[in-house]
């Protein structure tokens, strides 16, 4: 049996992710992660494979639901994937994928009757406006798609139900909506806005399970001594649950907080709603968590990695990378899954993760490397 050394494991405090081993300008990590997750995932032991925003939300919603049933109302989700990580920068971070995750999460929590409607908060007006702009364009594309469906003679379907008999409708959809993260048709209402929003009634509920807004709205926040008061005032004006109407909001989903403005905003929101409402913080990158999050639980975490051998190829060793996923699904503790030979993930654990990992952080790189090393050595 061939063996693989894991002396060098690609994980560190500053760069959680796959090593960029390609010299091309396009970072290969996104494609590599999708491929590794889909090809090696073991849904019997690992749950739903988070291969899209919708699937990731489905998986995370189960963990959020378990935590809520144990009376944890402030929870955290951490997807260490470049397209969901704001610290990766604009080249990799996909605000639409991240916001789609939040909207799908809200859908799933409402389907489970855990919330009625959520207020999804992004960091500022610039982010909110960009999301609305892209969603509007996607909705226009969906409308075109629906018209094509309506114009097709259903009597011309072949035995497989494929209109036109050659998949042209599906091909058109694929070209129009080509994306790893499945597009979602959303609508959101905006406070203090005259713009009307179209919704559909489905079983007495509006189509959207959430309202999209931002924590500070259009407020201009300085970096000087007035910053604290400015953020507080902006949050008090914008990050407010609507409790009137047929679908009052009873949950908040906060996306990608990371800078000083966000920390102040989070503290204000938790001071107001932390004891009475469901609050889900998605992909926090705040360097130091505020004291108000001391009781929060990280209920769903995912970190894909590749370990690379130091053994040179010309020495007869195998320098190909084995695959690993570090994951937590509440109420279970952290688990490390490893795929050494491409035949699927199996759990590798040294049995101590719950004693060395807090409720809001990933296991250390050293712990992960040790678990992988021990698993590989056991295969020899």
* Dihedral sign from CA coordinates of 363, 33, 61, 208: positive
Phi, psi at residue 187, to the nearest 5°?
-135, 150
Which tens digits make up the pLDDT trace of 272-312? 999 999 999 999 999 999 999 999 999 999 999 876 655 55
**What is the reported pTM?**
0.75
200 Cβ contact partners less than 8 Å away, ≥ 6 residues apart: 206, 207
The neighbouring-strand residues paired with 338 are 324, 346
By the 8 A CB rule, do 317 and 327 touch?
no
Which tens digits make up the pLDDT trace of 301-360? 999 987 665 555 444 444 356 889 999 999 999 999 999 888 899 998 655 544 445 567
Which tens digits make up the pLDDT trace of 232-280? 999 999 999 998 878 899 999 999 999 999 999 999 999 999 999 999 9
Distance CA 128, CA 122 (A): 6
Mean pLDDT of 42-65: 94
**Count of residues for the chain?**
380
Distance CA 106, CA 270 (A): 19
Three-state secondary-structure class, residue 338? strand
């Amino acid at each position: 049996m061939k063996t693989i050394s894991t002396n060098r494991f690609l994980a560190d405090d500053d760069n959680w992710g796959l090593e960029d081993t390609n010299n091309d300008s396009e970072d290969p990590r996104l494609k590599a992660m999708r491929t590794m997750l889909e090809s090696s995932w073991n849904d019997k032991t690992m749950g739903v494979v988070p291969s899209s925003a919708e699937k990731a939300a489905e998986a995370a919603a189960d963990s959020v639901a378990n935590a809520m049933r144990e009376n944890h109302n402030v929870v955290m989700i951490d997807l260490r994937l470049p397209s969901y990580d704001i610290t990766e920068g604009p080249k990799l971070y996909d605000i639409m994928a991240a916001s789609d995750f939040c909207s799908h999460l809200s859908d799933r929590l409402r389907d489970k009757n855990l919330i009625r409607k959520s207020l999804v908060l992004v960091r500022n007006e610039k982010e909110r406006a960009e999301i609305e702009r892209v969603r509007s364009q996607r909705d226009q594309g969906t409308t075109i798609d629906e018209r094509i469906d309506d114009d097709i003679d259903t009597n011309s379907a072949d035995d497989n139900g494929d209109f036109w008999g050659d998949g042209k409708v599906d091909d058109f959809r694929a070209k129009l909506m080509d994306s790893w993260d499945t597009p979602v048709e959303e609508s959101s209402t905006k406070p203090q806005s005259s713009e009307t929003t179209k919704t559909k009634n489905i079983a007495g509920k509006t189509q959207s399970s959430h309202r999209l807004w931002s924590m500070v709205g259009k407020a201009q926040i300085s970096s000087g001594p007035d910053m604290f008061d400015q953020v507080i005032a902006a949050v008090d004006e914008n990050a407010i649950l609507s409790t009137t109407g047929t679908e009052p909001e009873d949950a908040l989903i906060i996306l990608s907080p990371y800078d000083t403005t966000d920390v102040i905003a989070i503290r204000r929101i938790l001071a107001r709603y932390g004891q009475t409402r469901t609050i889900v913080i998605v992909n926090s990158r705040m360097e130091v968590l505020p004291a108000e999050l001391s009781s929060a639980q990280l209920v769903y975490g995912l970190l894909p990695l590749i370990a690379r051998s130091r053994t040179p190829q010309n020495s007869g060793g195998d320098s190909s990378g084995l695959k690993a996923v570090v994951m937590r699904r509440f109420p279970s503790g952290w688990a490390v899954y490893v795929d050494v030979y491409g035949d699927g993930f199996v759990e590798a654990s040294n049995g101590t993760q719950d004693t060395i990992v807090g409720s809001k952080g990933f296991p250390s790189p050293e712990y992960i490397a040790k678990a992988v090393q021990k698993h590989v050595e056991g295969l020899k």
